[in-house]
Chains A and B, each alone.
Chain A
Amino acid sequence: MRIFYHPILGKLEEKRKITLEVDGKKIAAYEGEPIAAALLAAGIRVLRMSPKREEPRGVFCAIGRCTDCVMIVDGQPNVRTCVTPARDGMKIQTQKGLGKWAKKL
């Protein structure tokens, strides 16, 4: 959920709205905000399933250090969504295990 009004920070600044495609579904986002924030705003908190135990994971450190929030972004797995800015039309997928590469390796 977005914090549209914050008692200290005031009204949410209007930024350019963009659309992300997450596992085939379209969600609205603001340009430049971290992908993870956009997903959180859309109520998507499970970002990947771990490779060995296939357990759900989400945002943990939010500063790009723990690498727990990695997802497949535009066909590339292991993208740290908490520090990767959202851009219009990005295709984002929940990463299962090591993830599938769009490009043939």
Chain B
Amino acid sequence: MSKKDLIICRCEEVTEEEIKKAIREGADNVDAVKRATRAGMGLCQSHTCYTLIVKIIHEMTGKPIKEILPATHRSPIRPITAEILAKSKNM
């Protein structure tokens, strides 16, 4: 397997190359990379790939790691079926 095909986002199968391309085009934070590539939009919601993306952004842009924040976390933080979510009252 060539390095070019290296997967970063396991859920959406986004490669390192695609992420680097997005960064070259100006995406300099996790959220921007996500919007540009779908990395982090899958089932796990960027849980696994987020640190890898941070590292790539840092290496390519020189932006300090501490300034590269994770994408926004929103409910539900685990996949839950619509039926179960809907099956509740008084919320």
Contacts and interface: CB of A to CB of B under 8 A. Distances in A.
Direct A–B touching in the complex (beta carbon < 8 Å)? Answer: yes
Interface of A: 50-53, 55, 57, 60-61, 64-68, 70, 78, 80
Interface residues of B, number: 12
B43 A78 contact: yes
Contacts of A68: 10-11, 44, 48
Given A78-B79, A80-B79, A67 B11 contact: yes
A53 B79 CA distance: 23
Contact of B10 (A60, A64, A78, A80): A60
Q: Is the interface of B mostly helix, strand, loop or mixed?
A: loop
Contacts of B43: 67, 70, 78
27 contacts: A50-B13, A51-B13, A52-B12, A52-B13, A53-B13, A55-B13, A57-B10, A60-B10, A60-B48, A61-B48, A65-B44, A65-B47, A65-B48, A66-B10, A66-B44, A66-B47, A66-B48, A67-B42, A67-B43, A67-B44, A67-B79, A68-B11, A68-B44, A68-B48, A70-B43, A78-B79, A80-B79
